Structure 1
């Protein structure tokens, strides 16, 4: 088995995770339970130990189904739960009630208890806020997470889809309360979507927050979508996020796939290798639908991109403004 060349720390914590995070958003509807269990088994064999889910995943079957799938896998024993750094999320709607979403203390604690039941475990290693709730004050949010960590039900707190100033405000408030605060941020980040380079990644680096990019191939757009469409083999890349932005990036993607061909590398592996090379990136979140896709993704660790290669990729998918962090990115 190919294993990540090393494990790395989750932000400023001493917790060690692999350089890839296993995303489970496809479990339920796109990945059946048997295949999902096989993917999780293989992930551990590859040295991937951070598994990411959310309380609303599995909505194609019913919300919570993905956590239930993972819980049944944990119930199989063989030290699975102890081998996994388990991450789930709270905040997106999970029901029709007025308090079935958001980051009120009421919902955070109730949602945690529900996730624990579905996951068949007594603790969540990384409990992440799925999105910012502008109606929730940080003192209320941190009070809820402090309660859960004191009870031993949550080990660390993370965020997802936050702005840079959200991270800064959260950390300053947590520090005032003597709380560890946020240790990781999940943001959409890839060659096509480079906005996090302006403020999110610099803020994360300043506060010791791990960056876990989701949609590292932009829903398959960077996985050789044009070749797949011509061959009639496009699945995920023919729908959703990838399909919505295909025409806008078609010219760049043609050049990208040609460049990957010249490198003799699969476009998906080049896109993942680029992310692995980026400053501040801890572990991209990959969402394989088969064991074979997971095995193939590990090839990204064998792709070495030279400075010249990186310059070509910058020319095809330019960073915003002058590149780098704000405000220098837009000062002329």
Structure 2
């Protein structure tokens, strides 16, 4: 496994991030524990989750599964950089809905972090992430709440998810005014087929020293050989990638992508991950394997070197918008 610094921090993290959103809803606890063991053995030390994962009436279930894994011992917690998120309403798992049970008020941050620590069976969270922008809570309030948690030793760093570039700037300017560290990471939707983050989010993250953690690196399976797999026996032709391929322009792009990689003898999903690892400012993509085979494929991507000729061809198939203001001004 290869490692890098998380943004401007001294924290070393693996270039793949183990995403756990499927743990609970799609992957049972024993299988989830086996995947985490395999990831740790392979050198992945960055585990990402969120308090709402498990979804619906089972919100919080994913954190519980991680917590029971930590409880097995073997220095699991000590070896892991643990990231979770706060924002979503947890009423489904904690009782009837009531005001102040969601978003980023100081009250909800305090409540949510205590609940996550209990589910995760740990005394601290390494990276506590804001899952979404809260338009009603000033950053001065948010940073005050975070500072208390840092002083208590319950969290070490703060990160964001799904923030626009100007909110990253606003958050870190507010933190700087009070002498605080501010955001150290940003999770955003970014992959070959969805490159709008290059306009402002990634430049803002680079300017403020945030590590960028792309989610959905295969764009819902679209970049994982979707056309090839659609012809395999037992495939239902349903789901996000099937819906996207119903668009003729998208299908043409994906077909060109798969044809190009066939010529090079490369696997589409591995190339999509390897491409992200070549991009400026990227710490590492979030991978959410459901099987050992999917984990093994993601690990191969870390070692995959993409030649310049191939990178150029990928840009031709999936051209990015470029940075702002050029992307929209002329």
Aligned counterpart, 2:10: 14
Give me the whole-angstrom Cα distance separating, in 2, the residues matched to 1:155 and 1:10.
Answer: 13
Once the 2 structures are TM-superposed, how far is the Cα of residue 60 of structure 1 from its aligned partner? 5.8
For residues 88-99 of structure 1, the aligned pairs below 5 Å read: 88-95=84-91, 96-99=97-100
Give me the whole-angstrom Cα distance separating, in 1, the residues matched to 2:35 and 2:150.
Answer: 30
TM-score, normalising length from structure 1? 0.94
Once the 2 structures are TM-superposed, how far is the Cα of residue 92 of structure 1 from its aligned partner? 1.4
* Count of matched residue pairs: 323
Q: Which runs of 5+ in 2 are unaligned?
A: 92-96
Are residue 39 (structure 1) and residue 35 (structure 2) matched? yes
Once the 2 structures are TM-superposed, how far is the Cα of residue 234 of structure 1 from its aligned partner? 4.8
Given that 1:212 and 1:282 are in contact with CA atoms closer than 8 Å, whether structure 2 keeps it comes out as yes
Give me the whole-angstrom Cα distance separating, in 1, the residues matched to 2:28 and 2:159.
Answer: 28
Once the 2 structures are TM-superposed, how far is the Cα of residue 330 of structure 1 from its aligned partner? 2.9
Aligned counterpart, 2:324: 326
Given that 2:15 and 2:302 are in contact with CA atoms closer than 8 Å, whether structure 1 keeps it comes out as no
Once the 2 structures are TM-superposed, how far is the Cα of residue 63 of structure 1 from its aligned partner? 0.2
Distance 1:47 1:94, change over 3 A: same
Instruction: List per-residue Cα deviations over 1:76-133 (Å, max 9, x = no partner).
Output: 0000000000000000121122222100000011000000000000000000000000
Once the 2 structures are TM-superposed, how far is the Cα of residue 247 of structure 1 from its aligned partner? 2.4
Q: Which 4+ runs in 1 deviate beyond 4 A? A: none
Distance 1:32 1:162, change over 3 A: same
Given that 1:33 and 1:69 are in contact with CA atoms closer than 8 Å, whether structure 2 keeps it comes out as yes
Aligned counterpart, 1:247: 246
Instruction: List per-residue Cα deviations over 1:268-298 (Å, max 9, x = no partner).
Output: 0011111111111111000000122101211
Are residue 113 (structure 1) and residue 110 (structure 2) matched? no
Once the 2 structures are TM-superposed, how far is the Cα of residue 155 of structure 1 from its aligned partner? 0.4
Instruction: List per-residue Cα deviations over 1:180-223 (Å, max 9, x = no partner).
Output: 01000000100111010000000000000000000000111100
Once the 2 structures are TM-superposed, how far is the Cα of residue 245 of structure 1 from its aligned partner? 2.3
Given that 1:29 and 1:61 are in contact with CA atoms closer than 8 Å, whether structure 2 keeps it comes out as no
SS in 1 for 2:212: strand
SS in 1 for 2:217: coil
TM-score, normalising length from structure 2? 0.95
Match of 1:85 among 65, 70, 81: 81
Aligned counterpart, 1:62: 58
Give me the whole-angstrom Cα distance separating, in 2, the residues matched to 1:298 and 1:202.
Answer: 27
Aligned counterpart, 1:102: 103
Are residue 276 (structure 1) and residue 274 (structure 2) matched? no
SS in 2 for 1:8: strand
